[in-house]
Structure 1
Amino acid sequence: MSSKESVTERAAREARWAERLHDHGRRVTRQRLAVLDAVEHAPHAVAEDVVSAVRAELPGITVQSVYVVLSDLTDSGLLRRIEVPRNPARYETRVGDNHHHMVCRSCGRIDDVDCAVGAAPCLTAAGDHGFTIDEAEVTYWGTCPDCTDQKDLHIGRSNKER
């Protein structure tokens, strides 16, 4: 728990997650609460980052246990697993709204992008091949502002050195 977070705020957050776990037919465990809390505090976290955050709260938890909880929470719909080519899988608690992602080609930063049009699937396929489409997943690729600034700064230095 961070020094700025009150006991009341933490209790309220855990109560909210406990209710969501029950709604999804899952028991409330310290491991599940710790994983949900870690992912909520670091959206688009890779599994290794989740392990580190959970171990700060539960030092004895194994890496395998965190992976099992991540898988279970993803299967139950409480977490979303984001799989972007050339990047490790990431996890987020923002589920059920069919949003998309923007990925920086330089540093790998991922930001959420709301649906382009209306509700899920929010995009219309040119052909459905007989499928009933209920979700669309789009990945936008580019360069984040921080990397663009660094590139501009580097280019500025190079020009001055000439």
Structure 2
Amino acid sequence: MTTDSVAMLRTHGLNVTAQRLAVLRAVSARPHATAQELADDVRLEIGSISRQSVYDTLTLLTERDLIRRIQPAGSSARFEDRVGDNHHHLVCRRCDRLVDVDCATGEVPCLIPVDSGDFIVDEAEVTYWGICPDCQALPAEA
């Protein structure tokens, strides 16, 4: 991934730094991780780095569309490197597990509003909620 990441950063006009490469690797290794989880992973890989530096890098990479920031209701922001395909997410109501779900109709933007108010729609964000198979196997909460 390092060669691809270097080229990707350069293509997007960004300087290649150890911190940016480490953040990209962390996001790729743990899709849907929170910023704090990613900061912990980056620290394990490269040593001392401030949480703010990781947050700033996540913001920059999101702004450049190298990663995607998602935030289901009631959850911390999470990050993934699956970008550009307008996929959706399924969240378990019990354990907060989050998984990718392919586009509802197969074409971007997947869903078209009945009245777009003259907007040009290029993306639809859908979050499905339910109970994951692991939680289904557990006794129901009282």
- With the length of structure 2 as denominator, give the TM-score of the two structures: 0.96
Deviating runs (4+, > 6 A) in structure 1?
A: none
Give the structure with higher Rg (CA): 1
Report the count of equivalent residues: 142
Cα deviations across residues 10-52 of structure 1 (Å, max 9, x unaligned)? xxx1001111111111111100000000010000000111011
Which of 13, 29, 47 is the aligned partner of 1:41? 29
Q: Does 1:135 align with 2:123?
A: yes
Give the secondary-structure state (helix, strand or coil) at the position aligned to 1:150: coil
SS at match of 1:137: coil
RMSD: 1.3
- Give 1 or 2: higher helix fraction: 1
| Map of 2:89 onto structure 1 | 101
Query: Distance in 2 between the 1:36 and 1:122 partners?
Result: 27
Give structure 1 stretches of 5+ with no counterpart: 1-12, 156-162
Distance 1:53 1:121 in 2: 33
- Aligned pair 1:32/2:17, yes or no? no
- Structural mapping, 1:64-83, within 5 Å: 64-83=52-71
Higher relative contact order (CA 8 A, sep 6+): 2
Identical residues among aligned pairs (%): 50
How far apart are the structure 1 equivalents of 2:134 and 2:53?
35
Match among 39, 46, 57 for residue 45 of structure 2: 57
